[in-house]
Amino acid sequence: MQKRILDFYFNVNLSLPVIIILEPSEENWNKIFNITLELTKSLPGRVEKIYFLGNKKEYKVFIPQDFEIYSAEWIRENFKRPLLIGKILENLSTDNKKRIIIVITSKEIIDLRDWENSEISKWIVFFNIGEESFIDLKRIENPIASVYIKNSDFVPLSFEIKPENIKSIIDYNDGKFILKINGDSEQLEGHLKTICSDELPKLIIQRTKGDPEEFLFQIESTWFSELQWKNIPDNLLTIINSGIDKKDFKCPNCNKIHNYKTLICPEGGTILTDFPLNTVILIKNNKYLSLSDWFAYPLKNNERIITIDGTLYDWTKGKWEKVKVIDLYEEVDNETWGLLHRI
């Protein structure tokens, strides 16, 4: 499968919408009303719909006042309906969208056992008005356990993920790269430059309860500035060529002969003075390229990468095989040499 370099964008809301299902009880309505109204006010913008047991009709809530204004009319339509939840859960299961489902009731639901082992049952929180007088918001939340990006051959060459408090870590395991996203935020936005094949990478959210959610990315035009090949300064050309040829060179600092692997003059001072430190430098045709803030750079028609810490990986037998950490002035591609400029 041909490897491609693609740019992606994503913007995901991590807070879950809330659905409330109410017991259509005339005798308990005042209590149910007060609890539900307080809940809609405590979760502004998150409560999407109200249902009543025994009725698959949905009642949309755009602002908390909607429930306060229209609920008397809604409950009149639903008094004395049987306590059945099946048709409601069937409706909510059709779009495979993750939600928090709060059921407020005082009695046992007739057909609940039919849904015991379903995926949607993991998202339901029950509230018994005979035992509880208010809803603890901590109880209804379904915290995020992990957020990550991956697919079978995905490599994040460069990425930018917001907000600023988000920390991103690249993990390599069993021939695959995974971009792990850690932090506390209701919104997640990011740009990625990646190597991938026809199987595009996915953002995966795993919560404490329920199966993982998968989000596809939007392909975008280049967000990141391309890394630029620059001319090697004249005063470094002889040293660089000596390194490629594995020959000693005359030091510009002390005028003595040093081994080609020498990066710091014994009498003081760095030798490759115009090259940035703590990154990989690639050299080709008297030009150099610094990986800068990129995690990796593609080589050999995207079948090899070199990471910012100087590690080579080759795409072999369906996975990224770790080859080695490069030596100084090691040929990493045709007529392309690499060095990890670290002092």
Nearest Cα to Cα of residue 40 among 19, 15, 58, 23: 19
Place of tokens 């300064």: 233
18-140 carries CATH number 3.40.50: yes
Q: What is the pLDDT of residue 1?
A: 63
Amino acid at 181: I
Q: For residue range 44-77, what is the model confidence (pLDDT) as tens digits?
A: 889 999 999 999 999 999 988 999 999 999 999 9
Q: For residue range 285-299, what is the model confidence (pLDDT) as tens digits?
A: 999 999 988 999 999
Using pLDDT thresholds of 50, 70 and 90, give the confidence band for residue 98.
confident
Give mean pLDDT, residues 177-193: 92
Reduced to 3 states, what is the DSSP secondary structure of residue 128? strand
* pTM of the predicted structure, to 2 decimals: 0.83
Which string of DSSP letters, residue by residue, matches 233-271? PHHHHHHHHHHHTT--EE-TTT--EE-TT--B-TTSSBS
Encoded tokens for 12: 């995901």
Nearest Cα to Cα of residue 3 among 234, 244, 281, 201: 201
- Asked whether the predicted pLDDT for residue 2 surpasses 80, the reply is no
Contacts of 71 (CB under 8 A, 6+ apart): 33, 36, 37, 50
Q: Where do the domains of the chain lie?
A: 4-13+144-219, 18-140, 230-341
- Asked whether the predicted pLDDT for residue 165 surpasses 90, the reply is no
Nearest Cα to Cα of residue 188 among 219, 153, 160, 229: 160
What is the helix (H) or strand (E) element at residue 48, kind and residue range? strand 47-52
Give 219: exposed, middle or buried? Use CB within 10 Å, 0-12, 13-18, 19+: exposed
Give 87: exposed, middle or buried? Use CB within 10 Å, 0-12, 13-18, 19+: middle
